[in-house]
Structure 1
Amino acid sequence: MIPNQEVRQLSSKFGIQVKRMEIVQNGVYRIVTSKGHEYCLKRMAYPPVQLRWIDKTLQQMQRKSSIRIGWRNPRERSGKRLFVKWQRESPPFVLIPWLRGAWPSPNSNMQMRACGTLLAKFHQAGKKIKITKSGRQNMMGKWPSYLREEQNTLRKVIHKAKRNGFHSPLDHLLQKHGSEILQMARASIRTLRNSNYKSICRKTKATLCHGDCGPTNIIRTRKGMYLIDFETMRLDLRIYDLYRLIFNSCKDHNWNFDIAQSILDGYQKVYKLNRSDYRLLKILLRFPRGMCKLVEHYDEKSPKDKLQIERDFPKVLAHERRRSAFLKKLDIYAG
Structure 2
Amino acid sequence: MIAKLEQGFGLRIHRRVKLRTVTGMQTSGGAMILKRYDGDVMRKRLEALSDALDSVLLAGVEVAPYLRTDAGLPYVADRGGLYTLQPWLRGRHLSMKSREERMAAAGALAALHRAPAGRTSSKSFYLRVPPLSEKYRHRLERAHLATLKSPELRESWRPFQERARQSVLQLQQASLERALDRDVRYGSLCHRDPAPHNFIWQEGGAALIDFDLAGYDVRAHDLYQLLNHALYLNGWEAGLFSEMVEAYERVFPLDADNRRILQALMHYPSLVIREWYDFGKSGNRDTLRVRLAWAQTQEEKRRLEVRV
Name the TM-score, length of structure 2 as normaliser. Answer: 0.80
- 2:88 maps to which residue? 98
SS at match of 1:47: helix
CA distance in 1 between partners of 2:180 and 2:281 (Å): 40
- Report the alpha carbon displacement of residue 187 of structure 1 after superposing the two structures with TM: 2.9
1:189 and 2:171 are equivalent in the alignment: no
Q: Distance in 1 between matches of 2:153 and 2:83?
A: 39
- TM-superposed CA distance for 1:52, in Å, is 0.6
Which of 71, 88, 97 is matched with 1:107 structurally? 97
Deviations 1:302-330 (A, max 9, x none): xxxx75x7426533443244324323314
Question: In 1, are the aligned partners of 2:61 and 2:111 still within 8 Å (CA)?
Answer: yes
> Quick check: 2:110–2:252 contact (8 Å CA) kept in 1?
yes
Residue 239 in structure 1 maps to residue 220 in structure 2: yes
State the distance in 2 between where 1:325 and 1:223 align.
29
Paired residue secondary structure (2:126)? coil
Distance 2:212 2:255 in 1: 29
Q: 1:226 deviation in Å?
A: 1.8
Which of 68, 91, 95 matches 2:62?
Answer: 68
1:55 and 2:37 correspond: no
RMSD: 3.5
Contact 2:143 2:274 in 1 (8 A): no
331 and 223 in structure 1: CA distance in 2 versus 1, 3 angstrom threshold: closer
Does the 8 Å contact 2:144/2:276 carry over to 1? no
Q: What SS does the aligned partner of 1:82 have?
A: coil
Kindly state the Cα deviation for residue 185 of structure 1 after the two structures are TM-superposed. 2.5
Aligned to 1:270: 251
For residue 17 of structure 2, the aligned residue among 21, 25, 29 is: 21
Aligned-pair identity (%): 19
Deviates more, 1:209-218 or 1:41-50: 41-50
* SS of the residue 2:15 aligns to: strand
- Name the structure 2 match of 1:146: 135
CA distance in 1, matches of 2:296, 2:127: 29
Q: Distance in 1 between matches of 2:4 and 2:146?
A: 39
Letter in 2 for 1:72: Y
Contact preservation (8 Å) 1:19, 1:31: yes
Cα distance in 1 for residues equivalent to 2:272 and 2:93 = 24
For 1:116 and 1:144, the matched residues in 2 are separated by 23
Preserved CA contact (<8 Å) 2:183 2:219: no
Q: Distance in 2 between matches of 1:330 and 1:152?
A: 24
Q: CA deviation at 1:127?
A: 6.4
Q: Give the distance between the partners of 2:79 and 2:197, measured in 1 at CA.
A: 30
Q: Is the 8 A contact 2:176 2:257 kept in 1?
A: no
Distance apart, 1:239 and its partner CA = 0.9
Q: 1:68, CA displacement in angstroms? A: 0.7
Asked if the contact 2:199/2:208 (under 8 Å) is kept, the reply is yes
Q: Which residue of 2 aligns with 1:40?
A: 33
Q: Aligned to 2:115, what secondary structure does the other structure show?
A: helix
TM-score for the superposition, normalised by structure 1: 0.74
Out of 279, 289, 300, the position equivalent to 2:260 is: 279
Distance 1:60 1:192, change over 3 A: closer
Following TM superposition, by how much is the alpha carbon of 1:279 offset from its aligned partner in structure 2, in angstroms?
A: 3.1
Q: CA deviation at 1:101?
A: 0.5
* Letter of the structure 1 residue corresponding to residue 19 of structure 2: I
Alignment CA distance shift 1:223-1:155 (3 Å): closer
2:55/2:116 contact within 8 Å kept: no
What amino acid maps onto 1:59 in structure 2? D
- C-alpha displacement at 1:202, in angstroms? 7.6
